[in-house]
Structure 1
Amino acid sequence: MKKVLIITYYWPPAGGPGVQRWLKFSKYLPDFGIQPIVYKPKNPHYPTQDQSLNLEVSSKVKVIEKAIFEPYSFAKILSKSDTESLSKGLIKSPKKQSKLQESLLYVRGNYFIPDARKFWVSPSVKFLAKYISKHQIDCIITTGPPHSLHLIGQQLKIKFNDLKWIADFRDPWTNIGYHNELKLTEASAKKHQQLEQEVLDQADALLVTSFETQREFQSKTQTPVNLITNGFDDESVRVEDLDEQFSLAHIGSLLSQRNPQLLWEVLAELIDELENFKQFFELRLVGNVSEQVIDSINKFGLKDYVSLIGYVNHQKAIEIQQSAQVLLLIEINSEETKGIIPGKLFEYMNAKRPILAIGPENWDVKRLVDETSSGTVFTYNDKQKLKAQITTDFKAYLNGKLIVNSTNINQFSRKNLTENLSKVIK
């Protein structure tokens, strides 16, 4: 059986989307003749935690760990709220940033390259070099963000030239939306680009989660770029009863930039114009929501129709997805985000409820939703089409006929995706 060492920052009890990908891959890799060994930090700073995910760690996975220096622990001394907001990605718009948050962003972007986990690189290389020599590891996989973990793989590859190194990009590096929020100097921006290029060129294989990132990396390097999306696990328990209200549910963080005022405007108009809509409509927001998004919702008069549920564990999130009348998927309207395919898209598909997505032009999500007939995708210029779709869904709801007939989603099951991954590893 081949041994693969997976170097990851996010591991249970980490909550949020970052932990799901390798938690699930490691569960199924033994089915394809691969023994997963996970290396993680002993004392991580996780902005959200989900203790229930500890129960999903396969008994076939060996976990090793080492302590890490966490700058966020010291930043909390200055401002716990600003530090936690940054670590959750809840960055305020430049006009609303405090001087302290501006300073924290500048320090994060220019003194912690590629990110605040850079101090884990050298001790991890030293520790893992001994482990690899002793345990005959066949392949290492680094997964980012945080992209500093790829530097661990880079240095181990130099020490063990025959060792296969796969760099997994759950999100892009220099081409991700928040990169421009870090107040980078010209020298810092060039350093990020240099490190990214070194990783792309020196890895034996690359993994990406979207068509756009695959195209981007293929234009930058000759290293094979393999597209393996995120996916869903077949849940043993399914919720049979749908919400009584006409619920539009969004699961996950709503950052300041991810604020679909177009949707709030449409919903406000439907409350005024569509008979019975105000009686049955409910907007359910599950996860961290920025103050700016809440202010925007209130500005459009939707306060009385909103349920702010906050962060819930993964199993509860699955239950909410399965009971919702409509599932909302929102992405920032920018060129950089057209290659972002949120992991929850695939769980939405498996929930078998209609997906209503709003995002940028030429968004990769549209291709997947259209191919699986799992919902509808709109741009930020599609106000009337969006309004018409919600009206259609509401009338179907009133008649008890709001369903979705999705097809060909089994390709995104975690086990099938792991089979594809095993071919890259071997």
Structure 2
Amino acid sequence: MNILIVCNYFYPNNCIASFRLNAFAKYFREAGHSVSVVTEGDRDQTTMWHGCEVHYVKDPVLTPSQMDSLLFRRKKWTPRRILTALQGRLLLDYKRLWQFRAYRKAHELTSSRRFDVVLSSYGNLSSHQVAYRLHREARFYWIADMRDEMSKWPWMSSINRRRLLSYERKILKEADLVLSVSAPLVEDFKQTGGGTDKVIEITNGYDYEEIHSVSFQPVYTMAFTGHFHNLITPDKWFRAFSELIAEGAVPADSRILVIGNNIPLSVPENMKSNVFQLRQVNHDEVIRKTQEADTLVVVHPKGRKGVYTGKLFDYLATNKPILAICDPDDVIASLLEETHSGFTADESDNEDVKRMLLRCYSLWKNKEVLPRDWDKIRQYTRKNQVKKLLEYLAGQEALKQS
């Protein structure tokens, strides 16, 4: 098959959304398919990556590296960020100007060669809008990688949620296949699409060698990788940790590593000597840094059922216990129970967070290792998830020919 991927996030962008698209491209190519990618970059250029032809298209307003720099320097009201925000507020697509340039490049490619499959992935509306326009003009199998529901994002106004819902319904109607990341979200998308059956689960995953060796740090150390923001904050974790230190339940010199948060955290005065913040590093370095911790922490608020945090899958194959401060009745808790890889603490119950934190501390203190179910964990390699998608596509092709 000739496959075209349209997305905003791709290598070398250092985020979970990018790693998902990298895996689609890499493992499509390893399976013997021809892969082209139209994605966002700091400059217009075409290059090869893992045998895939990658066309980088520059956003004329704000490039990825410019955004990272502004975020790190906490520069909110620059002209470029204001124009980006206006695109988002007025058009629900803060990459609208990029969309026009990306469409021109994608149209150029689809006019000069035949693609069997086009996969668009949500980072904002742009990639799906590009694929939608192409699908109206050319014949190909359109896969819309929706991940989770835009129209249910809690920080959105009710008006914008309704506007986004109309886009979701349009995509669900026109796309040949829709991907989401969990079984509950698959069912939600099916209902949004009026009972459509063309939605399947392709989870996020990990893409590195399993780490079976276990080391214990001389000082008890917890680590969090990735970004905090207005909905996901360390406040409940920090509160429980601070109280346990004050009670003498964990050593006063215990450490917290925050790895890859691009905006420095405001740390309570009584914890400043315990918290160490490392600016964003590449993914290989993140995995290496997790080996310098004794507990890996997930923080995820209650509210939307079925939403995983991407770092959870990165944690799975590290052989370190995972502490998930989240909804104990949602998918994160189920995954930890299924794989025997950690503990869930009810994010609304401070005493429960403290209890689970103490269980993790006890593992370190007694030099114990959780009996992970590695066969279950291996289902969540990115390669196996892409294989699952390719097997589905092969089955659909067989049905057409029968």
TM-score normalised to structure 1 length? 0.81
Q: 2:24 maps to which residue? A: 25
Query: How far has the Cα of 1:402 moved from its partner?
Result: 4.5
1:185-204 map, 5 Å: 186=159, 188-204=160-176
Q: 2:399 maps to which residue? A: none
> Which SS does the other structure have where 2:54 is aligned?
strand
The verdict on how the C-alpha distance between 1:121 and 1:276 changes in structure 2, with shifts beyond 3 A counting, is closer
Query: How far has the Cα of 1:41 moved from its partner?
Result: 2.9
1:49-128 map, 5 Å: 57-58=49-50, 60-71=51-62, 81=70, 107-111=86-90, 113-128=91-106
Query: How far has the Cα of 1:133 moved from its partner?
Result: 3.2
In the alignment, does 2:132 pair up with 1:164? no
Q: 1:248 maps to which residue? A: 222
Query: How far has the Cα of 1:401 moved from its partner?
Result: 2.0
1:215-234 map, 5 Å: 215-221=187-193, 222=196, 224-234=198-208
Q: C-alpha distance in 2, partners of 1:167/1:268? A: 44
Q: 1:324 maps to which residue? A: 293
The verdict on how the C-alpha distance between 1:169 and 1:243 changes in structure 2, with shifts beyond 3 A counting, is farther
The verdict on how the C-alpha distance between 1:150 and 1:29 changes in structure 2, with shifts beyond 3 A counting, is same
1:143-158 map, 5 Å: 143-158=121-136
Q: C-alpha distance in 2, partners of 1:44/1:421? A: 32
* 1:374 aligned partner, one-letter code: S
Q: 2:336 maps to which residue? A: 369
Q: C-alpha distance in 1, partners of 2:279/2:42? A: 25
Q: 2:311 maps to which residue? A: 344
Greater relative contact order (CA < 8 Å, ≥ 6 in sequence): 1
1:304 is aligned, of 261, 273, 276, to: 273
Q: C-alpha distance in 2, partners of 1:62/1:384? A: 52
Query: How far has the Cα of 1:307 moved from its partner?
Result: 0.8
Assess if the C-alpha contact under 8 Å between 1:321 and 1:327 holds in 2: yes
Q: Deviations over 1:363-408 (max 9, x none)?
A: 3211111111111112223332322222232233222225453441
Q: 2:38 maps to which residue? A: 39
Q: 2:152 maps to which residue? A: 175
* 1:3 aligned partner, one-letter code: N
In structure 2, runs of 5+ residues without a counterpart are 395-402
The verdict on how the C-alpha distance between 1:238 and 1:367 changes in structure 2, with shifts beyond 3 A counting, is closer
Q: C-alpha distance in 2, partners of 1:392/1:124? A: 50
Q: 1:142 maps to which residue? A: 120
In structure 1, runs of 5+ residues without a counterpart are 46-53, 87-96
The verdict on how the C-alpha distance between 1:410 and 1:361 changes in structure 2, with shifts beyond 3 A counting, is closer
**RMSD of equivalent CA atoms:** 3.2
Query: How far has the Cα of 1:225 moved from its partner?
Result: 0.8
* Comparing 131-140 and 267-276, the one that deviates more: 267-276
> Which SS does the other structure have where 1:219 is aligned?
helix
2:243 is aligned, of 269, 294, 302, to: 269
Q: Deviations over 1:25-59 (max 9, x none)?
A: 222223333222111234369xxxxxxxx99x41x
* 1:411 aligned partner, one-letter code: Q
The verdict on how the C-alpha distance between 1:167 and 1:266 changes in structure 2, with shifts beyond 3 A counting, is same
In the alignment, does 2:375 pair up with 1:391? no
Assess if the C-alpha contact under 8 Å between 1:145 and 1:171 holds in 2: no
Query: How far has the Cα of 1:213 moved from its partner?
Result: 2.1
Query: How far has the Cα of 1:189 moved from its partner?
Result: 4.6
> Which SS does the other structure have where 1:307 is aligned?
strand
In the alignment, does 2:402 pair up with 1:423? no
Q: C-alpha distance in 2, partners of 1:233/1:326? A: 20
Assess if the C-alpha contact under 8 Å between 1:208 and 1:228 holds in 2: yes
Q: C-alpha distance in 1, partners of 2:132/2:74? A: 31
Q: C-alpha distance in 1, partners of 2:23/2:125? A: 20
Q: Deviations over 1:225-265 (max 9, x none)?
A: 11100111233888764432211100001113212433222
The verdict on how the C-alpha distance between 1:405 and 1:413 changes in structure 2, with shifts beyond 3 A counting, is same
The verdict on how the C-alpha distance between 1:133 and 1:106 changes in structure 2, with shifts beyond 3 A counting, is closer
Which structure shows the bigger proportion of residues in helix conformation? Answer: 1
The verdict on how the C-alpha distance between 1:123 and 1:271 changes in structure 2, with shifts beyond 3 A counting, is closer
Q: C-alpha distance in 1, partners of 2:392/2:111? A: 23
* 2:258 aligned partner, one-letter code: L
* 1:317 aligned partner, one-letter code: V
In the alignment, does 2:381 pair up with 1:413? yes
Q: Deviations over 1:261-319 (max 9, x none)?
A: 3322221121122356214x11111122656xx33x415x2111111122111111001
- Of all paired residues, the percent bearing the same amino acid is 22
TM-score normalised to structure 2 length? 0.85
* Comparing 358-367 and 345-354, the one that deviates more: 358-367
Assess if the C-alpha contact under 8 Å between 1:393 and 1:402 holds in 2: no
Assess if the C-alpha contact under 8 Å between 1:255 and 1:289 holds in 2: no
